[in-house]
Structure 1
Amino acid sequence: MSRRFAGREPRGQLIIVAALLLAVVFVGLALIVNSAIFAENLATRDTGDSEEAKAFTLDASGAVMEAYTLANGADANTTSEARATFNATFDAWAGAAKERAAKRGVATEIERTPHLGWRLEQRSDRPFTPANDTDATEWQVASDTENVSTAQVNVTRDSLYDAALDFDNTSDDAFRFRVDNGTHDWRVYVFRDSTNSTMVVHVGDPGDFGTLDALLDVESTCTRTASRAVIDFRNATFDGTDCAPLAFGGNLTGPVDIHYENVREGVGGTPRVEGQYTLVVNGSKTVATDGSGYPDQFNNTTDAAPTAQGIVYAASYATEYEGDDVAHDRSGRLLVRAEAYAG
C-alpha cells in the first residue's frame, strides 16, 4: 500500500455496500453467467464540486470489470497469463486516468490485486481420468482450495456401475466424488439401477444399507430416470430437480481437496463414469503444475479434454483522489462468482 493510502488521518467514514448484478458472457469459453458483486468502502472529504472525483472512482469499478472479462476470455493456460492480462488491461486505464487527473492538479493513487484460480473442464464425453494417466482409477483434481464457485458433472447412465446387479460392491466400485479437509470427508456415489432404468445419487456410504431397496428409500438418496444427467453440487440439483443431500461440502471447514474415485474398474479397466464436468476453484496453487506453471493433469485450453484455464477468480482494488477541496478514497472487491463453498 502506498504512503498516501497509509498515512492519511481518518476522515468521516461512510460505509457503503453495493450489490451490482452484472451478467457477463465470455465468448467461446462457455462460462456460466454469474452475479457480479462489488463490495466497496468509501471515505470522503468534500467541500466543493465532487462530481469528477466520484466519476474517477466509479470508472475504476468499470476498469476492474473490463480487466476481469478480458483476462477470463483470453484462454490462459497458466494463472500467470491470466494475471498478466488483467494487470495490463487495468494498468492501461489507470495510467491514462492518472495523467488526466494530474493535468487538473489532482493527486491520485490506484492499486489492484487479481485473485487467481482455475477453471477445470471436460467438454466432451470421455472417462473422468486425468490427461496424463488415462488408466488411472482415482486422482486428486484440486487441492487446498478455499472457494469453489462451480462444481458440476454431466454423466451418462450406461457408463455407471450397476448396483442392481451387485449391490454389495457398490461402495468399492461405483464412481465417487469426494471432498475432504484432511479430517473429515464428504462422499457422493453415482451409479445406476438397471431394474428401474434410473440413475442414483447417494451421499454417504452405500455399505451402510443391506439392500439397494433400503438405500433408495432414504433422504440421502436421489434418483432420476434419464439417459444422462447433470449433477450440480453448487445448486444441489440432479437433472434440474432439487436434491437436498447434494449441498456442496456438507459441514467441512477450511481448505478442501477434491477427488474423483472409482473412475475405472481397476487400472486400465472399464470406465465407471463417462461424460463432462466443470469445476471452478480459487487459488493459483490448487492445481498441480510443472516448473513453468502448466497443469500436470490437464491439457491446454485449446487441446483435447480435460483442460485447465487460468482465471481471475476475484479482484481487489483501491483508489484515492485528492484535490484542493475534495477527496475520495474507495476500496472494493469484485466477487463475480457466488460461492458454493467458502472455508
Structure 2
Amino acid sequence: MADVMARSSDRGQLLLITALALAVILVTVALLLNAAIFTENVATRDTTTQGAEAIELRGELVTAIGDLIETENRQGDGSTTNVTEGIETMKPLVDRERARHGVVATLARNGTTSGQLIESTDFEADGTDWTLVESLSDARAFTVTVDPTEIYTESNPNAIQIEDNAFAVRFITSDENVTQYLYNDGDDLVVATAVASADPETRCRIDHGGSDTTVDLSREQLSTDDATVECFRGLWPDEDPERIEFLNGDAAEGLFTVTVDDSASSTIATTDAVYSATVDIGYRSSELDFETTVRVAPGEPQ
C-alpha cells in the first residue's frame, strides 16, 4: 500500500514538474512571438516611411523633368540635347539634397525622344472640316482653349443640331471614331461625346462665366481661371488615335496645341519639340533599396 502511495506521489510530482516546464515554455514562446511582432511592426513602419520618401522623390523628379521639357518646348525648336544637359545638371543636386538625410539618391538619363509641337489659333487652317494630324503613334498635352461667347450656343440641342453646328475634335482609331463636340449652354461649356455613329451624349460641363475655357483632352479635364472639372476618362479614346480631325472649325475661336511623335504628319506648320525623356531613379538607405525607370511625357493620356 505504501509503495502504491509513493508511486502516486511521484507521478503527481512529475506531472507538476511537467506542467511547470510547459508553462515556462509557453511563456517563453509568447515573449518571443511578441518580440518578433514588435520588431516586424517597427521594420514595417520604417520601410513604409522610407518607401513614401522614395515615391515622393520620384514624383518630384517627374515634375521637375516635365517642367524642363515643357519650358524647352515653349522657347521654340525644343532640343533633346538641352533637356539632356538639364537632367545632367539635376543629378548632383539630387544626390546632395538626399545625402543630408543619410540617403543615397541617384538620377541617370536613360534616353530622350524628339517630337513635334502643333500650335495655332486658326481652327479653319485647312477648311471647315479638316485633318489636323495623321500617321500618329503618340500624342500628349492636347488642349483646346475657346472663347465660350464665340461657339455654338443652344439650350438642350438635339443630336442633329450639335453635329451640324458645334465645333468638334474627332479621334480616328483602328476600331472606331470618337468625336468630342463643344457647345455653349447658358453659362456652361458642354462637351458631348459621340462614339462611331451614335448620337452625342453630354460627357462633361463647366460654368465658364464668360471667360476663356480650356478643354484638356489628354488630361481629361475642363478649366477656367476659377475652376477645374475632372471628366473621369471621358475625353480621350480608349485606343490611341491614328488621326485627329477638326469639324465645324468656323464655330470656334481660341487656341489649340498638341505635342506629337516625330513620325506624325500635320497639314499645318509644326516646330521641333521634345516628346519625352526616360530616366533611372535610385533611392538607397539602411532600410530600403529602391530603383525605377520612368518615362516622363507631360500630359500624356494615362
Q: Name the TM-score, length of structure 2 as normaliser.
A: 0.55
Q: Which amino acid aligns with 1:82?
A: S
Q: 1:60-101: per-residue Cα shift (whole Å, max 9, x none)?
A: xxxxx98x689646521xxxx8357668x69x99xxxxxxxx
Structure 2: which 5+ residue stretches go unaligned? 1-53, 90-107, 281-290
Closer/same/farther in 2, CA of residues 312 and 153 from structure 1, 3 Å limit: same
Alignment partners' CA distance in 2, 1:156 and 1:202:
17
Distance 1:159 1:69 in 2: 29
Q: Does 1:236 align with 2:220?
A: yes
Within 2, Cα distance between the matches of 1:244 and 1:69?
24
Q: Do structure 1's residue 314 and structure 2's residue 291 form an aligned pair? A: no
Equivalent residues of 1:152, 1:231 under 8 A apart: yes
Deviations 1:241-299 (A, max 9, x none): 3242664423214x5322221102xxxxxxx0001122122x212133xxxxxxx512x
Counterpart of 2:181 in 1: which secondary structure?
strand
Contact 1:229 1:238 in 2 (8 A): yes
Whether the aligned pair in 1 keeps the contact of 2:219 and 2:301 (CA below 8 Å) is no
Match of 2:142 in 1: 151
Counterpart secondary structure, 2:183: strand
Distance 1:274 1:250 in 2: 24
Normalised TM-score (structure 1)? 0.50
- Per-residue deviation, 1:172: 2.3
Matches within 5 A, 1:181-330: 181-193=173-185, 196-204=186-194, 220-227=203-210, 228-239=212-223, 240-244=227-231, 247-253=234-240, 256-264=242-250, 272-281=251-260, 283-288=261-266, 296-298=267-269, 308-315=270-277
- Asked if the contact 2:218–2:236 (Cα under 8 Å) also holds between the matched residues in 1, the reply is no
Does the C-alpha gap of structure 1 residues 223 and 335 become closer, same or farther in structure 2, counting only changes over 3 Å?
same
Q: Shift of the alpha carbon at 1:36?
A: 3.4
Identity %, equivalent residues: 15
Q: How far apart, in 2, do the equivalents of 1:151 and 1:339 lie?
A: 8
Deviation of 1:340 after TM superposition, in Å, equals 3.0
Greater share of helix:
2
The 2-side partners of 1:226 and 1:341 are apart by: 28
Give the counterpart of 2:164 among 135, 160, 172.
172
Q: Matched residue of 1:21: which SS?
A: helix
Identify if the C-alpha distance between structure 1 residues 84 and 256 changes in structure 2 by more than 3 Å, giving closer, same or farther. Answer: same
Distance 1:219 1:262 in 2: 18
Structure 2 CA distance for partners of 1:221 and 1:152, relative to 1, 3 Å: same
Task: Kindly name which structure, 1 or 2, has the bigger radius of gyration based on alpha carbons.
Answer: 2
SS at match of 1:146: coil
SS at match of 2:79: helix
Show CA shifts across 1:193-222 (max 9, x none): 3xx3432211227x966xxxxx8xx76342
Return the alpha-carbon distance in structure 1 between the equivalents of residues 109 and 228 of structure 2.
Answer: 44
Q: 1:198 to 1:36 in 2, by over 3 A?
A: same
Q: 2:113 aligns with which of 112, 115, 121?
A: 115
Q: Secondary structure at the match of 2:128?
A: coil
Structure with greater contact order relative to length (CA < 8 Å, sep ≥ 6): 1
* Cα distance per residue 1:15-37 (max 9 Å; x no partner): x99825237xxxxxxxxxx4538
Report SS of the residue matched to 2:264. Answer: coil
Say whether the 8 Å CA contact 2:190–2:202 is kept in structure 1.
no
Deviation at 1:174, TM superposition (A): 1.0
Cα pair 2:143 2:257 within 8 Å, conserved: yes
Report the equivalent of 1:48.
Answer: none
* Shift in Å, 1:160: 1.0
Alignment of 1:6-85 (within 5 A): 19=58, 21-22=60-61, 34=63, 36=65, 72=73, 75-76=76-77, 82=79
Quote the residue 2:44 is aligned against: none
Displacement after TM superposition at 1:189 (Å):
0.5
The AA in structure 2 aligned to 1:297 is I
Matches within 5 A, 1:64-143: 72=73, 75-76=76-77, 82=79, 113-122=111-120, 126-130=121-125, 133=126, 136-143=127-134
* Paired residue total: 214
- CA contact under 8 A between 1:120 and 1:280: conserved in structure 2? yes
Separation in structure 1 between the aligned mates of residue 249 and residue 278 of structure 2, nearest angstrom: 38
